[in-house]
Amino acid sequence: MKIAVCIKQVPDSWAQKKMGADQRLDRESVDAVLNDLDEYAIESALALVEANSPTGEVGEGSGHSITVISMGPERASEALRKALSMGADDAILINDPGLAGSDALATSKVLAQAITAGGYDLVLCGTESTDARMSVIPAMLAERLGFAQLTFAGKVGVSGRTMTITRQTEFGVEEMSADLPAVISVVEKINEPRYPSFKGIMASKKKPLVTQTLSDLGISPSDVGSSAAWSAVKDSLPRPPRGAGIKIVDDGSAGSQLVAFLAERKLV
């Protein structure tokens, strides 16, 4: 398997996010971290290779490779380094001033181009980024690449070139399968991502991290970025904070007081 894991650097989940004057998320004012839902995809890639490697380890002797790919500004290389320290083999940062303001369509176009150029046959993703929360990139990648789509996997297995996943949907528990090439997104129940070891952190410093630009990928700047974003934010307003709610300490009658509150709001 030649695996690509698509990851994103996002504002820390606990950070107070706000919109900038340009109607985009103000990323400068908040701490940036590796999207935690992508850690499960990195761990899945590592586990898949370890289970199918003659040495039981990732890396050169495994017969497989894991490349982490991110589109983002220079500092997104921190997220890529974290993935390398967990055990991925190499990393690609797609960084170009022309990418600013890209929507999901453009992001998927750029990632798909990098995946095609690298000749990967398995793409792993988290289910969504914790900032934009659209949850469309894995499906868009499958559509653009013509790869099989196996999303929301709670379990992933491989036998030869056939991938099998188990997932929970509104229809029930589904088992799905497809031959490579495939795009798989994994849910957070699938595993417990490993912490980078000291050895892993040291090794990551020597692992290749290359930067690609739009021209490296043969993409015209007019096809991406804010001018090619097919949706636009007209305006944004901070929502008035919820009025301070009522808070009572139970003295034995809290249940009855709550029923009265619900009745007043016509909820019972």
Partner 1 sequence: MSTVLILVDSVGGKVSKSTAELATFGKRIGDVVAVICSSDSAAILPQLNTLSIDKTITCTGVDFEKFSTGAVAAALASVVAKESPAAVLIASSARGKEIAGRLAVRIDSGVITDAIDLDSEIIATQSIFGGSTTVHSIVTHGTPIITMRGNSIEAIAGSGPAGAEDFALTYTDGDRAAVLSLAPAKKSGRPELTEASIIVSGGKGTDGNFTPVEELADALGAAVGASRAATDAGWYPHSFQVGQTGKTVSPQLYIAAGISGAIQHRAGMQTSKTIVAINKDPEAPIFDVADFGVVGDLFAVLPQVRDGVIAKKS
Ligand X SMILES: Cc1cc2nc3c(=O)[nH]c(=O)nc-3n(C[C@H](O)[C@H](O)[C@H](O)COP(=O)(O)OP(=O)(O)OC[C@H]3O[C@@H](n4cnc5c(N)ncnc54)[C@H](O)[C@@H]3O)c2cc1C
Closest CA to 187 of 58, 63, 81, 39: 39
Q: With CB under 8 A as the contact rule, which of the stretches 44-52, 91-99, 209-217, 256-264 interacts with partner 1?
A: 256-264
> Using CA atoms, how far apart are residues 203 and 185, in angstroms rounded to an integer?
27
Helix (H) or strand (E) holding 70: strand 65-71
The sign of the dihedral angle between the CA atoms of 154, 159, 160, 166 is negative
Is residue 100 at the binding interface for partner 1, with CB under 8 A as the rule? no
Total site size for ligand X, rule CB under 6 A = 3
Strands, E assignment, 46-181: 65-71, 90-94, 122-126, 148-159, 162-169, 172-179
Is residue 169 at the binding interface for partner 1, with CB under 8 A as the rule? yes
Nearer to ligand X, 28 or 250 (CB): 250
Tokens of 16: 């107070």
The residues, ordered by sequence, that sit 6+ positions from 7 with a Cβ below 8 Å of its Cβ are: 34, 35, 38, 41, 42, 68, 69, 70, 79, 80, 83, 126
Nearer to ligand X, 161 or 189 (CB): 189
Q: At closest approach, how far in Å is the CB of 92 from ligand X?
A: 24
Nearer to ligand X, 41 or 94 (CB): 41
Q: Which of 121, 188, 203, 221 binds partner 1 (CB under 8 A)?
A: 188
Nearer to ligand X, 14 or 230 (CB): 14
The residues, ordered by sequence, that sit 6+ positions from 15 with a Cβ below 8 Å of its Cβ are: 30, 31
- Kindly write out the interface string for residues 101-140 of this chain, putting x where it contacts partner 1 by CB under 8 A and - elsewhere: --xxx--x------------------x--x--xxxxxxxx
CB 46 within 8 A of CB 87: yes
Nearer to ligand X, 9 or 113 (CB): 9
Nearer to partner 1, 54 or 245 (CB): 245
Is residue 19 at the binding interface for partner 1, with CB under 8 A as the rule? yes
The sign of the dihedral angle between the CA atoms of 243, 249, 250, 251 is negative
Is residue 78 at the binding interface for ligand X, with CB under 6 A as the rule? no
- Residues 7-36 within binding reach of ligand X (CB under 6 A): 36
Residue showing tokens 């799905």: 176
26 secondary structure, DSSP code: -
Q: Which of 90, 188, 216, 223 binds ligand X (CB under 6 A)?
A: 188
- Residues 139-158 within binding reach of partner 1 (CB under 8 A): 139-140, 142-144, 146, 148-152, 154
Binding site for ligand X (CB under 6 A): 36-37, 188
